[in-house]
Amino acid sequence: MSTDIIATEQKPPLRVIVVGMGVRSMIYTRVALTNPELLEIVGVVDVDARRREYARLTFGIDPANCFATVEELVAVPKFADAVINGTMDRLHVSTSLPLLRHGYDMLLEKPFALNEDEARVLLACAAETGRTVMVCHVLRYAPFYQRLKQVMQSGEIGKVINIRMSAQVNYFHESVSFVRGKYASAEICGSGMLLTKCSHDLDLMAWLMGDNKPRRIASVGSMFQFVPANAPEGAGTRCLTDCPAAVERECPYSARRLYIEKPQRWADNVWHDSNMKNPETAEEKAAALSATDNPYGACVYHCQTDIVDHQSVLIEYSDGATGTFSMTGGASISKRRVHVTGTRGEVYGTFEDNRFTISAIVPGAPEGRVKHVVDVTEAQEGRHHGGGDREVVLDFIAYLRGEETSPGLTLLEDSVTGHRIVFLAEQSRLADGAMQNW
């Protein structure tokens, strides 16, 4: 009997080029630092020389593999397995097409397209080239939603009658990203707030509902809060220059308070997008916010943004079930809630609370029902997007290696339904809520 030991084949790390070295790409590429045996960053594309240099130094990239544009990258022979495309929304399709045609598989930031025409073009290109495209719908990988999907598939609550979801965007995030920031208008980012912020949520609804596709969709929404009529009496047009101190001090959206005195999670976006590299003093920050061309110093009530700050979507599914989704910006706290009612019970909970409750119909029980709580705190507490940012990268690597993947695998063709819900919802909103057929 042979005593030879057969060594397990050690697969090389996936060699990846980062296209768009922004905040999201920085998050995804952390896997290369924590698990270099799985992922190696071998190239970077970014119009900003500082970001290219950051990537070069962080990952030890050959200077010859640092490019300013996608056109420069595809002008040289293919030298990696895949790309992570973290460009701005309106560049997703235009940058993806030449990369796919050059032979690269892709992990693509959401939203993968801004409208149905773009979506069709990208889907056709992926099919023609035979390349894999995965979309960064990271919330599918959060334990909260993974377990919720299992409950719905198990039949424990019966057949779904209604699925109700909501997303609150807290006032700080709302002001940074969607009123003053780079997603303040379709002209700037190419889409409205429903696609930019909530394509995650409507992808989740589509994924949870599985093969039950929409039949009709309607939607209403508007800019309700951030309009001149709601500005405090006597307010100026800029927080640090022409707004009276007494008014500015009482305003919850004071740029001085939110971005200098009591900065929160998104404050760094202000300096990043103002082209300031790590301003160290309050004086430097105040000077930047005082510049007349800096949108982050503008009064939120006079920004003239053309996005909505609240919107609701109604869906009728092919079997007669219904779904609703509501987004509200400017809330006191960010929350994602879900409530699914079925023929044998219901399940409801809040993502940020790390738990949901299953309430099953049991006529013989004391209250006619039996409840129990599913708690995923240990699995996702303290992990941004419940750990989904890391898990989507690991799933991408596993898929390209031919290994076992997650049940939430976000292949492009499986991500179309959620995006199409958004596209039709926007058509409905712009048509005064008229029902749109799937």
Residues 181 and 271 in one domain: no
User: Quick check: is 272 in a domain?
Assistant: yes
How many separate domains does the chain show? 3
Residues 23 and 169 in one domain: no
Res. 1 pLDDT band, cuts 50 70 90? very low
Please tell me the predicted confidence (pLDDT) of residue 192: 85
Write down which residue in 80, 109, 135 finishes a domain: 135
From residue 293, give the alpha-carbon distance in Å to each of 290, 297, 298, 363. Answer: 9, 9, 9, 65
User: Quick check: is 243 in a domain?
Assistant: yes
Asked if the model's pLDDT at residue 136 lies above 50, the reply is yes
Residues 215 and 244 in one domain: no
Res. 123 pLDDT band, cuts 50 70 90? very high
- Here the tokens at position 201 are 């949520």
Most confident by average pLDDT, 23-27, 87-91, 269-273, 317-321: 317-321
Residues 289 and 319 in one domain: no
User: Quick check: is 28 in a domain?
Assistant: yes
CB 359 within 8 A of CB 369: yes
Residues 26 and 53 in one domain: yes
158: left (phi over 0), alpha (psi -120 to 50) or beta: left
Minimum mean pLDDT range among 266-275, 375-384, 394-403: 266-275
Nearest Cα residue to 253 out of 214, 192, 298, 197: 298
Write down which residue in 110, 135, 160 finishes a domain: 135
User: Quick check: is 407 in a domain?
Assistant: no
Residues 214 and 342 in one domain: yes
Query: What dihedral do alpha carbons 392, 81, 113, 298 form, nearest 10°?
Result: 70
Res. 3 pLDDT band, cuts 50 70 90? very low
- Report, in angstroms and rounded to the nearest whole number, the Rg of the chain calculated over CA atoms: 23
Asked if the model's pLDDT at residue 417 lies above 80, the reply is yes
| Distance between CA atoms of residues 407 and 385, nearest Å | 17
Q: What are the residues facing 163 on neighbouring strands?
A: 323, 340
pLDDT tens string 151-188 = 999 999 999 999 999 999 999 999 998 999 888 887 77
Residues 85 and 179 in one domain: no
Q: Give the CATH number, domain containing residue 151.
A: 3.30.360.10
Q: Give the CATH number, domain containing residue 74.
A: 3.40.50.720
Minimum mean pLDDT range among 52-66, 175-189, 224-238, 337-351: 175-189
User: Quick check: is 6 in a domain?
Assistant: no
Residues 106 and 243 in one domain: no
Give me the domain span that covers residue 275. Answer: 228-302
Residues 341 and 220 in one domain: yes
User: Quick check: is 337 in a domain?
Assistant: yes
Q: What percent of the chain has pLDDT over 70?
A: 97
Residues 122 and 29 in one domain: yes
Asked if the model's pLDDT at residue 5 lies above 60, the reply is no
Residues 325 and 418 in one domain: yes
Write down which residue in 84, 108, 135 finishes a domain: 135
User: Quick check: is 5 in a domain?
Assistant: no
User: Quick check: is 316 in a domain?
Assistant: yes
Helices of type H across 109-265 = 116-129, 143-154, 171-173, 186-189, 193-209, 245-250, 255-256
Residues 321 and 296 in one domain: no
pLDDT tens string 278-335 = 677 899 899 989 999 899 999 999 998 888 999 999 999 999 999 999 999 999 999 9
Asked if the model's pLDDT at residue 87 lies above 80, the reply is yes
